[in-house]
Structure 1
Amino acid sequence: MNLLKTTFMAALLSATAMTASAASLKIGLESDPDALDPDKSRTFVGRIVFTSMCDKLVDITPDLEIVPQLATEWSTSEDGKTLTLNLREGVTFHDGTPFNAEAVKANIERSKTFEESVRKSELTSIESVDVVDELTVQFNLSNPDAPLMAQLADRSGMMMAPSALSADYANNPVCSGPFKFVSRSAQDKIELEKYDGYWNADAIQLDGVSYVIIPDSTVRLANLQSGDIHIVNQLAATDAETVESTDGLRFANITGLGYQGLTFNLNNGDMAQNPLGQNAKVREAFDLAIDREAINQVVFNGLFKPASQPYTPNSPYFNPDYPVIQRDIEKSKALLAEAGVETPVKVQLQVPNTPVTLQLVQVIQSMVSEAGFEVEIIAKEFATLLSDADAGDFQITQIGWSGRIDPDGNIHGFVTTGAGFNDGNYSNEKIDELLNSARTISNPQERAALYQEAMGIVAQDRPLIYLYHLGWLYGIDEKVQGLTLYPDGMLRLEGVSLEN
């Protein structure tokens, strides 16, 4: 009898453990996030982790409308220079400390002054922050700032516990989102667990979430098929048919807001001293040697959209005078001759060390060789690539942007003087004037005219070139229920569950 009882209890405990394990969602990411500090973060995959860990002042709907999160209401003064936010009551950070107006003030001031912050250019209009009362905060602006609310719906609006703020914050992040940080193993996984004190705990049906780092898309797919992960983020386009034909799995996709492209080093250290960095004609020749539609078909099975600017054709900010560039090898060769450069033009192209991006740049390498370019491909782990890009240790870097709901987010940080993502140190006074002015205007038509004019200058100077607009592709285990896809590519886990 005792043996039978012991056996039964062991089986019960085992079943209970299996049930608990099944309540932890496992997501396969294509690369390792950089610093888990919203002020320092530059990676798309980092934003995915933050979405589960760090609530923002505001969020967006699938239709890209701004909605409350930690701020429940907001208003702007008639002159557009004062933004007042009413904050949610009863919110705590993961260490139990309260979220309040003082916390918002501490976060915004850190984002603006922390030496390593890449959020500075997103918050330049905020001159000061006043605590009106415990749950009311006021931003005093130097000028009206049309994109500001959109910035507060992203990393600039993520709230960190002031009690945890330090230069070492990334190693032990403390936020106020539905899941709290447990551990991180570099190049392996990030573990989060449900925060029981979350203000919207009833919407969270998972015990935890693991982000598993798997750069190889084939290995990510194999892990999905074996049940070791539940969601493949950035499924390879060539694997979509396999997922669709596999029992227990489903393929899902949604058109994104961003793009992938190439950034040239124009003025960021010694690596800029090469024909591509110093001559716009050489950059134009490189651009004209690329066949974007062929890339879309060969690398992405036709699932993405070729691009030559940061906005999709259905955006009101798209400049119709600069449609997708068509390949022209003869003109490319003629431009190199006009530039008086010796061929082959030798150049280094750094790229994330994932199979898809390597295939992309190998196709580009072959294409541009026909015009007279000799490309050396240098594959790097993604966080290293970002660090080297910031330091100017590159000639061309293959990099993209996941996109933002406001047009400012897709261009200002990349081409204005001294901006956080302007890795090539491009500078043009007219660009600065146009894009800074666009931030102060609320009328969509007037803003569109400024962005279109700016895009014309970027198209001539080519500090970076755009290759294709992203689609977010997912492989999903059918046990995952309640997942809503968003155009920003973030995986929001409210209402998501795992069926046993």
Structure 2
Amino acid sequence: MKKLMTTFVAAGSLAFAVTANAQTAAPNKNAKLTIGWAEPVDSLNPATTGARDVGPIDANIFDTLVWLTPDFQITPHLATKWAVSNDGKTYTFTLRQGVTFHDGTPFDADAVVANVKYITSKDTQSKISIGLLGPCTTATAVDKYTVQFTCTTPYAPFLAQLGEPYMGIQSPKAIAQYGKDLGLHPTGTGPFEFVSYQPDQRVVLKRYDAYNWGPEAVKHAGPADIAEVTFQIVPNSQARVSQFQSGQSQLMQETPGVYWNAFKKAGTYGALPVPISGMGIFAPINASKFPTSDIAVRKAIMYAIDKKGVIQLAEAGVFPPSNTPLQQGMTAYDASLENAYPYDPAKAEATLKDGGWTKNGDFWEKDGKRLAFTINAISTVPSYPLLAQAMQGYLRKVGMDVQVQQLAVPAWLNANINGDMSITPLQYIAVDPDALHFWFLPGQYFNWSKYSDPALSQLISQGQQEADPAKRVDIYHQVQKTLMDQAVIMPIRQNIDLVMTSKKLTGVTYSGGGFEYLLPASLAD
């Protein structure tokens, strides 16, 4: 589910982001690619989806104003250049000419304006894209190929966040024609156009033969080589592996850790670990619901869980643990927080005792109430229940009466939004540390920890407006320290999509944030 004026890694990492299988034969222009996809689709509408795994599908249907390289450089795409006013409140974009949507509608400044109006309309109920706009919610067509965004306050993350697939530009004709059914008729300017969607089964795309405006950073001229792409939705990880091994798919997303280790060792397939930037796999902890409303309980949870042990139990130990709110590689990642909560069961129990809890038999109690809560997990994502069960084991060892409840996505979302959950593992993708505002500012959709602190809110606001990269880093270090001190977020592990490919498939890459991109891909006979 996830997003600059910042310090970037040096250029040149695009090469490592591409599958390196050697291919000397001419590409098969009639090739049909099948991808074993791990999670169901909530909506293909980039303005209303809240799912991480819809991002890569939309990245191939829709283009964005800017393109983010894997190392977060902001490069031209539908916008060829841009300028920012001295006060940081106005962004002026010169748009690419000669671009058409899949329905034949021309792309121009009016199309961008229509998209912004659609995203910001209350009727749309945008999830991620409305937040990515931040305070820059007004767009004006200066002329046919010049569009200007106006921000109420300076917003440093704006440029980079325009490169996320959730900011994919949709056909204004489709927006007007399909209304609430727009997600069933996704119409962009991307290298692949929509063919069909069967819920919980597959999404089928075909090559957009008129495509000739791919991002220069990807270095692929003209339309895609692959004629058709089927995202075969296979949530069951064993079934997804079997499908891939039998050759029914040529790319497998979210490869289970035990198979990733085995396949890499065998060298039979191509391996592409796609780093998904942002907050990693983590768990918000509800600060408003007993017993996690007690800071002693929240801190004890942090000390009680052996993350390496959890990852070994749930995912064959294939992922590095995460100990900070922002993943390594993100701007403002703070290494000084890595040892804030070492695995220490004795410290967990001492923290509870100091917080006024007493152990009665196997479990802790306070004011006549047992320290009991439930870890909620999405039932359709196999790794989340496994992580929850591994976490449960460690928490029960220190005297917490913890249960695991698996929920389908709608019920899981409602529980989080309503504040009914205590703790739940999940992910959030981002390309800027301002991602934290979605989770820790009052009133935000993802403020599932229900934690609110005026001083923290002020810091986050400063981080959004500060143009100086060094000062922004310092601000977000302070933000993260507050979150860790209050124990309202438990980092679990680094977020990496373990992608396996057939040796016949080459050229698969990804954009900044970790969204697989198929324009430069080829599939040999």
TM-score normalized with structure 1 length = 0.89
Matched, 1:117 2:126: yes
Match for residue 178 of structure 1 among 168, 188, 191: 191
Structure 1 CA distance for aligned equivalents of residues 335 and 269 of structure 2:
40
Structure 1 CA distance for aligned equivalents of residues 38 and 487 of structure 2:
29
Change (3 A) 1:20 1:449: closer
Structure 1 CA distance for aligned equivalents of residues 171 and 508 of structure 2:
28
Matched, 1:157 2:173: no
Matched, 1:390 2:399: no
Aligned to 2:450: 425
Contact persistence 1:59–1:67 (CA under 8 A): yes
The code of the aligned residue for 2:190 comes to G
Matched, 1:215 2:235: yes
Structure 2 CA distance for aligned equivalents of residues 384 and 199 of structure 1:
43
Question: What whole-Å deviation, never above 9, does each CA across 1:246-284 have from its counterpart, x for those lacking one?
Answer: 5752223244423111123345xxxx3x211x2222111
Question: What whole-Å deviation, never above 9, does each CA across 1:76-97 have from its counterpart, x for those lacking one?
Answer: 1122111000111111222211
Deviates more, 1:120-129 or 1:429-438: 120-129
Structure 1 CA distance for aligned equivalents of residues 265 and 373 of structure 2:
42
3-state DSSP of counterpart to 2:299: helix
Structure 2 CA distance for aligned equivalents of residues 355 and 61 of structure 1:
30
Contact persistence 1:56–1:155 (CA under 8 A): yes
Deviates more, 1:349-358 or 1:223-232: 349-358
Any residues of structure 2 matched to 1:460-479 within 5 Å, and which?
Answer: 460-479=485-504
Contact persistence 2:37–2:231 (CA under 8 A): yes
Greater relative contact order: 1 or 2 (C-alpha under 8 angstroms, separation 6 or more)? Answer: 2
Structure 1 CA distance for aligned equivalents of residues 32 and 137 of structure 2:
43
Question: What whole-Å deviation, never above 9, does each CA across 1:442-485 have from its counterpart, x for those lacking one?
Answer: 21110011101111111122332111112231111111012235
Aligned to 1:66: 74
Structure 2 CA distance for aligned equivalents of residues 401 and 209 of structure 1:
26
Deviation at 1:127, TM superposition (A): 4.9
3-state DSSP of counterpart to 1:184: strand
Any residues of structure 2 matched to 1:30-69 within 5 Å, and which?
Answer: 30-69=38-77
Structure 2 CA distance for aligned equivalents of residues 180 and 339 of structure 1:
60
Matched, 1:495 2:520: yes
Aligned to 2:373: 347
| Structure 1 runs not aligned, ≥5 long | 1-18
Change (3 A) 1:91 1:310: same
Matched, 1:372 2:399: yes
Contact persistence 1:174–1:181 (CA under 8 A): yes
Contact persistence 2:161–2:431 (CA under 8 A): no
What percent of counterpart residues are identical?
A: 27
Question: What whole-Å deviation, never above 9, does each CA across 1:292-312 have from its counterpart, x for those lacking one?
Answer: 122234434443222222224
| Structure 2 runs not aligned, ≥5 long | 1-26, 214-220, 358-364
Aligned to 1:289: 304
The code of the aligned residue for 2:377 comes to V
Structure 1 CA distance for aligned equivalents of residues 151 and 188 of structure 2:
26
The code of the aligned residue for 1:330 comes to A
Contact persistence 1:251–1:476 (CA under 8 A): yes
3-state DSSP of counterpart to 1:212: strand
Change (3 A) 1:498 1:155: closer
Structure 2 CA distance for aligned equivalents of residues 127 and 365 of structure 1:
43
Match for residue 79 of structure 1 among 84, 87, 91: 87
Aligned to 1:14: none
Contact persistence 1:279–1:339 (CA under 8 A): no
Aligned to 1:317: 332
Tell me how many residue pairs correspond in the alignment.
474
Structure 2 CA distance for aligned equivalents of residues 462 and 77 of structure 1:
39
Structure 1 CA distance for aligned equivalents of residues 194 and 335 of structure 2:
45
Change (3 A) 1:90 1:401: same
Deviates more, 1:53-62 or 1:243-252: 243-252
Deviates more, 1:300-309 or 1:177-186: 300-309
Change (3 A) 1:37 1:331: same
Matched, 1:96 2:104: yes
Change (3 A) 1:489 1:122: closer
Deviation at 1:384, TM superposition (A): 4.9
Contact persistence 2:70–2:510 (CA under 8 A): yes
Contact persistence 2:375–2:405 (CA under 8 A): yes
3-state DSSP of counterpart to 2:277: strand
3-state DSSP of counterpart to 2:426: strand
Contact persistence 2:384–2:426 (CA under 8 A): no
3-state DSSP of counterpart to 1:475: strand
Change (3 A) 1:127 1:42: closer
3-state DSSP of counterpart to 2:375: strand
Matched, 1:229 2:249: yes
3-state DSSP of counterpart to 1:369: helix
Contact persistence 2:62–2:189 (CA under 8 A): yes
CA RMSD of aligned residues (A): 2.3
